[in-house]
Amino acid sequence: MALTEIDSQLLKQCLTQGPRAWQDFVDRFIGLFVHVIQHTAHSRSIRLTGDDVDDLCGEIFYAILANDFAVLRNFRGQSSLATYLSVVARRVTVRELIKRRKAEAMGHVNAHQAALEPNDAEGEEIEELAHLMHQLPPRDAEALRKYHLEGKTYRDIGRELGVEENSVGPMLSRAREQLRRLRWVASA
């Protein structure tokens, strides 16, 4: 199937960052991404929670946004946009599922909501993290706090920050990436 006129216009709007372009893009393809995530996980016998699906959607949107929409700029129009994005979504999902499996195999535990008493080294790391979070845009830092420290859902975070629920995942991914960069700069 060829690129439709609707998708062609949407693609142009996204690449020129037209008004509501990203929201229209998200609305058009979120269902496709959820389907690809669920199908990919099911085919690998992996159970996902709603939050897992939200996180994976966020990773897909982050991959699309990365490097000034490089994924969209690389689209050559030799298939439908939905087909192209399905391949992108599947690759991102498989990569993230493999990362999770490796982390589980290494004995890493998801302490997302656990109340742990930090030792001295952890206390220093928490202080460093708090310092780095102050360098993030306030909305991104708040989203990280609400998700990782308060255990809030994407829906709650979106409502509290006044953003669409399906924008929270990309916001969290972007904030995590900024933290990684800041941490790397601080350690260099």
Least confident of 25-29, 51-55, 61-65, 104-108: 104-108
Arch. (CATH architecture) of 5-105 = Orthogonal Bundle (1.10)
Q: Is the pLDDT of residue 18 over 70?
A: yes
Higher pLDDT, 147 or 74: 74
Q: Is the pLDDT of residue 126 over 60?
A: no
What pLDDT score does 92 carry?
A: 92
Mean pLDDT of the chain: 81
- Confidence tier at 136 by pLDDT (50, 70, 90): confident
The whole-number average pLDDT for the span 88-109 is 79
- 120-187 — its CATH code? 1.10.10.10
Domain boundaries, the chain: 5-105, 120-187
The whole-number average pLDDT for the span 104-129 is 51
Q: Please check whether residue 32 is in contact with residue 86, taking contact to mean a CB–CB distance below 8 angstroms.
A: yes
Least confident of 72-81, 107-116, 151-160: 107-116
What pLDDT score does 58 carry?
A: 92
Tell me, yes or no, if the two domains 5-105 and 120-187 fold the same way: no
What are the distances in angstroms from CA 174 to CA 14, 37, 72?
18, 20, 18
